[in-house]
Amino acid sequence: MGLISAIIWLFNEIQTMYHIMLSPIRGITHKERLESFYAGQAKNYDSYRKKLLACRKTLLDKLPFGGIWVDMGGGTGFNIEYIAQLGRLKYYTKVYLVDLSPSLLQIAVKRIEENG
């Protein structure tokens, strides 16, 4: 990792930790409060959570083929993209991604548009 990459990585880590620990949570409804919490971390969400969810890919590898898949709290669409990269998405009759955070869902929509 070069110096510039290390600085960018460190900045993103600090920014994400700030939004997790110090940024005030605003909103009246649960949805508004969740969005307030996740909006500032959305762009770095997957890279930061990768460390916290180390077994995510192992779990996804064990999903049964076929049927309908509802990814509750699917956020940025990481899980769906991962299954698609394995070539297994085509085996599901329907796939739904559900999340309360519009910021995370925007990343999921962009991800789906970029990858088909």
Domains of the chain, each with CATH number or no CATH: 3-115 (3.40.50)
pLDDT higher than 80, residue 68: yes
CA distance 109 to 102: 10
- Which pLDDT band, with edges at 50, 70 and 90, does 105 fall under? very high
Give the pLDDT score at 17.
86
The pLDDT mean for the chain works out to 88
pLDDT higher than 90, residue 103: yes
- Which pLDDT band, with edges at 50, 70 and 90, does 73 fall under? very high
Output helix, strand, coil percentages for the chain, rounded to the nearest 5.
60, 10, 30
Report the percent of the chain where pLDDT is more than 90: 38
